[in-house]
Amino acid sequence: MKFTIKKEILLEALNKVSKAISTKNVIPVLAGIKFNLTKKRLTLTASDNDITIETYIDCNNEEIINIKQEGSIIIQGKYILDIVRKLPDNYINIEVVDELKILIYTENSEFNLNGISEKEYPTIELTESKNYIELSPETLKEIVNQTAFATSLDENKAILNGINFNISGDILECNATDSYRLARKIVKLETAASENQNIVIPSRNIVEFTRIIDDSEEKIAIHIFNNKILFKYQNLSFQSRLINGTYPNTSNLLPKESLVKIHFNINEFYDVVDRVSILTSDKDKNVVTLESNGKQVLMKSSSAEIGRVEEKMNVEKDNDMDIKISFSAKYMMEALKSFSTKTVDLYFVGEIKPILLRSSEDESLTQLVLPIRTY
């Protein structure tokens, strides 16, 4: 392998794949990035067994020049990234000498790294499926931003560590829950899926994918298999394992009717909940109490040692029913933040029934926050 490459282009590609470099170092070769150079393109691959990221740079322009020899080698990911980032030159020369020595050099700098034979790299299939769905980067980011926060971090609830993608015809329903709240986003696909699917994608992995993609008009192709999912976007392939198991049916959690609906300005309500939670503690789930009284809502919290707080707000209600209910300020604030609208309606069914959040300005999103008994 011997070639010269534009620094910025290589750095961009390394930044993308390095997100999959294994930091646990159980298998040393997975701490490396696989470089594979042909006359046509340079392909970089990294994998930690949980996700695999592959990207390529085409050779038919000014970005890769002086290709003297094709070949493959594994370069230690941490070092190559640091070296390329810190070299001041526009072009960098990379050459394999003595089979497993990698020479990275510019006018004044010369790095000589120990490489690993590509034979030691695991075979990773990044095959496409005949049937796939397509989403714009903007839509996928929106799904992730509006649901991922509600997934569980508890390793004993593996199935809840992911976001559920439930595809039926041209409807994609995404669910996330940690059993104390639920986030649901419904998206209409431009082209219906040829096969219905019900899968669970590890939340951490899909969040990582949305972080490394930009916001072009181009679509992301999503290929779904039994135990893995492959996202293809521009010159990037991002593959993740799926979580095994059956995702709980969350639809029966959504109340069909409500006793009273209260209309809130999101920013105002968020700030009130934030202030009222100052005296609460994480340990006690940041419990705050909402109490409606005619056209006024009182938000309260109290702690015997610290003190108590009360805020009042004027709101719109759809009838004269009054409600008193307690919930986690943290969960309510995260649910409120997920809306990109100005206002939100809270539907109350009763003191010990889930609170439903929906906005008439955007009906694709539903948030559910479970109440907390305070007596």
Which stretches of the chain bind its own copies, using CB under 8 A? 76, 79, 82-83, 86-88, 101-102, 108-114, 271, 274-275, 278-279, 305-313
Residue (of 224, 287, 255) closest to 354 by Cα position: 255
User: For 226, which DSSP code?
Assistant: S
Distance CA 363, CA 341 (A): 10
* Closer residue to its own copies, CB minimum distance, 102 or 160: 102
Closer to its own copies by Cβ: residue 78 or 241: 78
Distance between CA atoms of 40 and 34, rounded to whole angstroms? 16
Task: Rank residues 111 and 132 by Cβ distance to its own copies and give the closer one.
Answer: 111
CA–CA gap between residue 164 and residue 182 (Å, rounded): 11
Q: How far is the CB of 100 from its own copies (least distance, A)?
A: 11
**Cα separation of the two ends of the chain:** 71
| Nearer to its own copies (CB atom), residue 114 or residue 244 | 114
Tokens representing residue 60 in the block: 């038919």
Q: Kindly tell me which of 263 and 353 has the beta carbon lying closer to its own copies.
A: 263
Nearer CB in complex with its own copies: 173/311: 311
d(CA 255, CA 237): 40
* Minimum separation from the CB atom of position 15 to its own copies (A): 16
Answer yes or no: are the C-beta atoms of 329 and 372 closer than 8 Å. no
State the minimum distance, in angstroms, from the CB of residue 259 to its own copies: 26
Q: Which amino acid is it at 20?
A: A
What minimum distance in Å lies between the beta carbon of 77 and its own copies? 12
Rg of the chain, C-alpha, whole Å: 26
Tell me which amino acid residue 103 is. Answer: L
Q: Which one, 178 or 311, has the nearer CB to its own copies? A: 311
Shortest reach from residue 51's CB to its own copies, in Å: 25
Q: How far apart, in whole angstroms, are the C-alpha atoms of residue 235 and residue 317? A: 51
Amino acid residing at 268: E
Cα–Cα distance for residue pair 299/303, rounded to 1 Å: 14
- Is the CB of residue 173 less than 8 Å from the CB of residue 236? no
Q: Name the minimum Å distance from CB 11 to its own copies.
A: 14
Contact between 162 and 177 under an 8 Å Cβ cutoff? The reply is no
Quote the least distance from Cβ 111 to its own copies, whole Å. 5
